[in-house]
Structure 1
Amino acid sequence: MWSAVPDVLVTDLGDELVLLDPASSEMFSLNDTGRLLWQALPAPENDLITLLEREYGLPHEQAQADVHTLLTSLEARHLITRS
């Protein structure tokens, strides 16, 4: 199960969602796909893959790769945690 770190500040700028880690002051911008996944948290990785398949009509392998890439990036920046 992946969850957003509670201290992360989220700002919706319309065409992007900006995440700010207050501990590091690092910002991370999400496009529409990233926004969809972020707003689905907390969720297991398989549910996020299914969400991309359904919303964007992606083949399973592409959705899996996209979700993995985003989760890896967010985890490396301490914006999400796995429980």
Structure 2
Amino acid sequence: MITLTQDADGFVRMNRHFPAKTPISIRFTDGSEAEYTGRKLNELYDEALAVYRAENRLDAKGFSRAPAKTVHPTNNVEFVPVQAGMPA
């Protein structure tokens, strides 16, 4: 079991996919705790990555279509938004 803790801004730190069937427990800032599968958190990670790439003018594979000097050095996200009461 993997345990993640939500920060004050509503995110959990996640910089990679977890195995799909791994149980993951999230402690929320309101004191509640819920258990999800790796598959659910991987979906949230993919959504956050798509938003990041869209906001930074990157294509679906993370390549820049803008001039090189305007691109952030990493094409990944490390923080994924979560909220208490998310469907499992």
What TM-score results when the alignment is normalised by the length of structure 2?
0.30
The structure with more radius of gyration: 2
- Which has a greater percent of helix? 1
